[in-house]
Each structure stands twice: as C-alpha cells, then as structure tokens.
C-alpha cells in the first residue's frame, strides 16, 4: 500500500461551493453514485450543519452509496460534529472531517483567539468526533500560511487525540510546488507518529497551481489527494481529480504511485457534474475539455495517423472517450434500452424505463442514430424533470422580416394554460409567454447551448441559470429542436424552484466563522 494514493473527492462539498453551482438532493445522489463507479476512496458528501439540504444529502448518500468512505465536514464545534455524526449514522464506512483555522491571519482577524486556544479546540473536536466513529480527519485550515512550529504542534496534538487522517489545505491557493512539497517533507520528518496516519493535501487554484502543488506534495510523501471533478470549487476551484489521477498514471515512471480510479469513467463523470451543476468545462481543459484530444494542425494529424504516440501521451479510451457508437434505433425495444443503460451505469426500474422509452422513441423518430451521449442526456433530462408545469404545445414565429413571437401552452395540475408574447428572438418570446403563465418573477442569469453529439441532427443541450430572491437555480433540457430544449430548460428551472428542492436554505452557514 506504500505506493497507493487515496483519492478523496470533495465535488459535493467544496465543489458545490463554486459560485453558481446548485445541486438538489437527487443531483447529489446521482453524482455520488457516479463517484462510486469511478471508484474514489472517499466521497465528502457535505457539511451537514450548514443547511437542511446538506444534512439530508449527506444522510442519503451515506445510506445509499456503497463502496467509498463517506465523509462529512464539521467545524470543531459540538453541534457541527453531532450533526455530521447523525448524517453519517447509516454509512458503512463513515468519516468525520473536522477543521479549525490555524494561520495567524485567521486567528487574529477571524477568531481573536490564541494558538493555544485553537489547539485546545482542535483536540476537543477530534476527541468528540472520535466518540462517534474511529475514522477522523483533521484539517488545520490555511496550513500553507500557518507558522510551521504551530502547524507541527497542532498536527501532533490531533494525532494524539485520535485523528486517523491529517489534511494540509492550501486554503487560498497561495503556495507553490517547491514550497508546498518541502512543507509536506518537513511534516513527515518533524511530526511525531506521522507514520500512524494518512497524510492528505487539499489545494486551491487561485494561482493556477492546485494540481502542481498536489503532485509535488505526493512526490514528497502525501498519501491522499483532495480533489474535485472538473476542478470546481470555492473561487478558482480545487485541484482537479482527472488531472491529478491522469498525471500519476501517465507519469508513473516518475511518481511511482497508483490510484484505484477507473479512469474510463472520467469523461462520463465530468459530463455529469457539468450538466448537473451547470458549470461548463472550457474546451482546452486538460483531460476532459472537448479539445483535449483534438489535433488541428495538419502535421500533427498526419503524425497521429501514423502513430498516435507522436502527439498523444494518453489514449482517449483510457479516460472513456470512445468514438460515439450508434447504439439503438427506432426499432429497438425496451429491453435493449434497459441493457444499454445498464452498461452505461444507469440502473432504472420498470416505471422509469417505460417513461424514458416514450422519449427515446420520439428521439429515434427525429434522429436515426441514437448515441450513448444522447441516451445519457435523456436519462439526466428525465430525472431532472419535476413536472409541476409541463410543456403541452408551443408555436414559434421567427424570421428576418418578422417580429419574433411565441405561443406556449403548459399543463399545471388539471389546467391547461396558454399565453403568447413577442420578444427579441424566439427564445425570449417563449420565455416571456412562460413568465405570463407561471407568474413567478425570475431573472435569467445565463443561457448556454451546446451540441451533445456531432452532426446536423445532434441533440442540443440547453442549460439556463435563473435567479429568484438571490438564489441561483439551473434548468436543463436536451432536444433535437433547440427552441424546444430552450423552453424545456426554462420550465425545468421554474419547476425546481417551485419544488423547493434547491440547496440554499435560510439557515446556510459557509465555513468561515470558525
Ligand atoms: O480549503 C479548505 O481549507 C477547506 C477545508 C475545510 C479543508 O476546504
Ligand atoms: Zn477547500
């Protein structure tokens, strides 16, 4: 096990602190199940004390998701630790992750507490958590800006109190690879009983160094990497899982470390997280960007055809990027659909398959070739629909010499309501007509449209982000008709607001007051 690096995924906790990310209970469970398929070692499911949704999501994941350790975050505060423990009650492998800030700047400006007072608090926190479970992680927040002597002292005290994992966060992304690597090496050398615990790192990306710092820490003795899918997270984000894992795999000659990650699940996980959070992946993003394996220059293309290793250091298949396969057509039956979805990792029950099958036939009628990506878009889209308002009919008038206008009819409970509106374009007109029906004032914050597969008849996926009472909610839909996808995405966002399932609750506390 000496060469094994543990992958601690914090997409659902730190990742969800990304500006604009908005996940409901169902989204979180779906992501956690995919993280289990990816075979991460630890899923940090949430910060249970911060809101009811965070608590419920952690509880649900602890109960439903088999395989990885499920961790919950808590400040060194009794209530936090007790809530984390309650949320983890049903987990097979629970871990409480307690943290306390240790840098001078945090002690003076945030807490007005001395080093000794914080050390006492940390020890009390670890001991209280230890009363619940055996696996306890302690993080001295802002470690990278903490005086070394105090950092070594508090780590030793946390180990003595029972911590099984010590995590060193570069909370504000301040460090650089040389310095951070040296810090890890010094901790290994100077802290008593450091070999009894797993030494972890958690790097933020404010200077674009999160992955480099994580890898340098690993080269210097860190055994666990805290990462997120697509590198999402607070401010500029966290070290990205896919980059850390593929760097270790591709350069195993250098790092001589392995992980248990099933790398062929990487692209699928990345797309799922992007779809559900509404945070798009930049095209040139390493490993998972749409251009990551695309060769544009003629010289490169020619060489890659002769031998891919000339310009490709990883095989696209290793991250799950197979060329799209035609899987099903309009003559495929329910059984074929169910089986292919199972192969893709989606186990649906009979009612879900029946429901999805109608939508599949509609799609297969419009589009002769149905690809894996289309199926996944259908499944996610179906799961996202919370049908308070349902689209019954729409008609759009648009052209170069016409004022765009839309007529939209929605079903709501037993009623069918129709409205029409003009607008700046067909989508704007349709959204105005929907606003007249639903009568719930929201602000459209962002709108994006991208093709799910290639070709003129590709499905278009629309993600909208709307704001209501300061709260962001995303809506998403896919269709071969981009206006239909736009209308359904907007209705989806409104339904999600109405169903009160979004994560932000009035009681929410971000982790900044201890
Ligand atoms: O960035 C940070 O310091 C954290 C801790 C809670 C680990 O997210
Ligand atoms: Zn963090």
Mind listing the pLDDT tens digit for each residue in 451-487?
877 777 788 889 999 998 888 888 888 898 999 999 9
Helix, strand, coil shares, percent, the chain, to 5: 45, 20, 35
Say how far apart CA 130 and CA 123 lie, in whole Å. 10
Which of 435, 439, 430 lies closest to 405 in space, CA to CA?
430
Q: Measured in angstroms, how far is the CA atom of residue 493 from the centroid of ligand 2?
A: 28
Q: Measured in angstroms, how far is the CA atom of residue 253 from the centroid of ligand 1?
A: 31
Nearest ligand 1 atom to alpha carbon 14 = 8
Six-digit token string for 445: 């914050």
Quote the pLDDT of residue 324: 52
Nearest ligand 1 atom to alpha carbon 167 = 7
Q: Measured in angstroms, how far is the CA atom of residue 250 from the centroid of ligand 1?
A: 28
Q: Tell the CATH topology of 6-277.
A: TIM Barrel (3.20.20)
CATH number for the segment(s) 389-503: 3.30.160.270
Which of 6, 19, 20, 87 lies closest to 47 in space, CA to CA?
87
Say how far apart CA 253 and CA 316 lie, in whole Å. 20
Q: How many CA atoms lie within 13 A of 277 on its CB side?
A: 28
The secondary structure element, H or E, covering residue 340 is helix 334-343
Residue 90, pLDDT above cutoff 70:
yes
Between 197 and 366, name the one with better pLDDT.
197
Mind listing the pLDDT tens digit for each residue in 1-10?
679 999 999 9
Which of 284, 193, 301 lies closest to 243 in space, CA to CA?
284
Burial class (CB in 10 A: 0-12, 13-18, 19+), 194: middle
Mind listing the pLDDT tens digit for each residue in 185-244?
999 999 999 999 999 999 999 999 999 999 999 999 999 999 999 999 999 999 999 999
Residue 408, pLDDT above cutoff 50:
yes
Quote the pLDDT of residue 386: 61
Instruction: Parse the chain into domains and list their residue ranges.
Output: 6-277, 294-379, 389-503
Q: Is the CB of 175 under 6 A from ligand 1?
A: no
Residue 372, pLDDT above cutoff 80:
no
Pairing of strands 69-75, 42-46: parallel
- In sequence order, what DSSP letters do the residues of 282-312 get, joined into one string? PTT-TTTSTTTT---SHHHHHHHHH-GGGT-
Probe target for ligand 1 pocket from 76, 97, 169, with the most ligand atoms within 8 Å of CB: 169
Domain 294-379 is found in CATH 1.20.5? no
Ligand nearest to the CA of 18: 2
Which residue's alpha carbon is nearest to atom 1 within ligand 1? Answer: 171
Mind listing the pLDDT tens digit for each residue in 305-352?
878 888 889 999 999 987 556 678 888 888 888 888 887 767 788 888
Q: Is the CB of 139 under 6 A from ligand 1?
A: yes
Which of 256, 245, 373 lies closest to 319 in space, CA to CA?
245
Say how far apart CA 423 and CA 182 lie, in whole Å. 60
Say how far apart CA 409 and CA 394 lie, in whole Å. 6
Say how far apart CA 181 and CA 212 lie, in whole Å. 10
Say how far apart CA 16 and CA 400 lie, in whole Å. 42
Six-digit token string for 252: 């195993």
Burial class (CB in 10 A: 0-12, 13-18, 19+), 27: buried
Q: How many CA atoms lie within 13 A of 295 on its CB side?
A: 16
Q: Measured in angstroms, how far is the CA atom of residue 140 from the centroid of ligand 1?
A: 8
Mind listing the pLDDT tens digit for each residue in 441-461?
899 999 999 887 777 778 888
Six-digit token string for 17: 């602190």
Which residue's alpha carbon is nearest to atom 6 within ligand 1? Answer: 99
Q: Is the CB of 460 under 6 A from ligand 1?
A: no
**pLDDT band at residue 397 using 50, 70 and 90 as cut-offs:** very high
Q: Measured in angstroms, how far is the CA atom of residue 232 from the centroid of ligand 2?
A: 10
Pairing of strands 415-422, 405-412: antiparallel
Quote the pLDDT of residue 301: 72
DSSP state of 103: S
Are the C-beta atoms of residues 115 and 100 closer than 8 Å to each other? no
The pTM for the full model equals 0.85
Q: Is the CB of 140 under 6 A from ligand 1?
A: no
Nearest ligand 1 atom to alpha carbon 141 = 3
Nearest ligand 1 atom to alpha carbon 139 = 7
Residue 378, pLDDT above cutoff 60:
yes
Burial class (CB in 10 A: 0-12, 13-18, 19+), 501: middle
Probe target for ligand 1 pocket from 13, 71, 103, 171, with the most ligand atoms within 8 Å of CB: 171
Which residue's alpha carbon is nearest to atom 4 within ligand 1? Answer: 171
Are the C-beta atoms of residues 350 and 381 closer than 8 Å to each other? no
Mind listing the pLDDT tens digit for each residue in 270-294?
989 998 888 889 999 999 998 888 7
Six-digit token string for 336: 């074929």
Q: Is the CB of 233 under 6 A from ligand 1?
A: no
Rounded mean pLDDT of the chain?
Answer: 90
- Say whether 294-379 and 6-277 share the same fold: no
């Amino acid at each position: 096990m000496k060469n094994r690096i543990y992958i601690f995924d914090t997409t659902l906790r730190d990742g969800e602190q990304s500006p604009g990310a908005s996940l409901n209970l169902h989204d979180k469970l779906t992501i956690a199940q995919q993280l289990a398929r990816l075979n991460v070692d630890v899923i940090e499911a949430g910060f249970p004390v911060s809101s009811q949704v965070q608590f419920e999501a952690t509880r649900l994941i602890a109960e439903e998701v088999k395989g990885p350790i499920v961790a919950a975050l808590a400040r060194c505060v009794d209530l936090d630790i007790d809530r984390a423990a309650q949320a983890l009650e049903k987990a097979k492998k629970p871990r409480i992750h307690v943290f306390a800030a240790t840098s001078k700047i945090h002690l003076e400006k945030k807490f007005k507490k001395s080093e000794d007072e914080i050390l006492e608090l940390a020890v009390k926190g670890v001991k209280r958590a230890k009363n619940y479970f055996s696996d306890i992680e302690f993080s001295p927040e802002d470690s990278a800006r903490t005086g070394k002597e105090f950092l070594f002292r508090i780590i030793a005290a946390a180990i003595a109190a029972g911590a099984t994992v010590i995590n060193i966060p570069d909370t504000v992304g301040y460090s650089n690879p040389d310095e951070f690597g040296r810090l890890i090496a010094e901790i290994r050398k100077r802290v008593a009983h450091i070999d009894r615990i797993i030494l972890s790192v958690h790097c933020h990306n404010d200077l674009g160094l999160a992955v480099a710092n994580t890898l340098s820490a690993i080269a210097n003795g860190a055994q666990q990497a805290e990462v997120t899918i697509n590198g999402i997270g607070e401010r500029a984000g966290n070290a990205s899982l896919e980059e850390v894992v593929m760097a270790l795999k591709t350069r195993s000659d250098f790092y001589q470390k392995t992980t248990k990650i099933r790398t062929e699940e990487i692209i699928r996980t990345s797309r799922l997280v992007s779809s559900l959070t509404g945070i798009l992946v930049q095209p040139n993003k390493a490993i998972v960007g749409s251009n990551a394996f695309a060769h544009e220059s003629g010289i490169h293309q020619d060489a890659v055809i002769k031998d891919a290793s000339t310009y490709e250091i990883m095989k696209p298949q290793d991250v799950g990027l197979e060329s799209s396969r035609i899987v099903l057509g309009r003559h495929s039956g329910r059984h074929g659909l169910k089986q292919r979805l199972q192969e893709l990792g989606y186990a649906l029950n009979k009612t879900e398959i029946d429901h999805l099958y109608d939508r599949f036939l509609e799609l297969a009628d419009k589009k002769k070739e149905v690809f894996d990506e289309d199926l996944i878009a259908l499944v996610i889209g179906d799961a996202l629909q919370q049908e308070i308002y349902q689209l019954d009919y729409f008609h759009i008038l648009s052209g170069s010499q016409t004022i765009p206008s839309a007529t939209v009819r929605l079903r709501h409970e037993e009623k069918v309501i129709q409205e029409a509106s003009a607008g700046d374009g067909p989508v704007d007109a349709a959204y105005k007509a929907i606003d007249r029906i639903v009568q719930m004032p929201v602000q459209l914050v962002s709108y994006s449209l991208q093709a799910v597969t290639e070709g003129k008849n590709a499905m278009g996926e629309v993600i909208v982000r709307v704001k209501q009472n300061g709260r962001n909610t995303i809506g998403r839909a896919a269709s071969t008709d981009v206006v239909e996808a736009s209308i359904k995405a907007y209705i989806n966002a409104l339904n999600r607001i109405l169903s009160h399932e979004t994560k932000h609750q009035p009681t929410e506390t971000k982790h900044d007051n201890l």
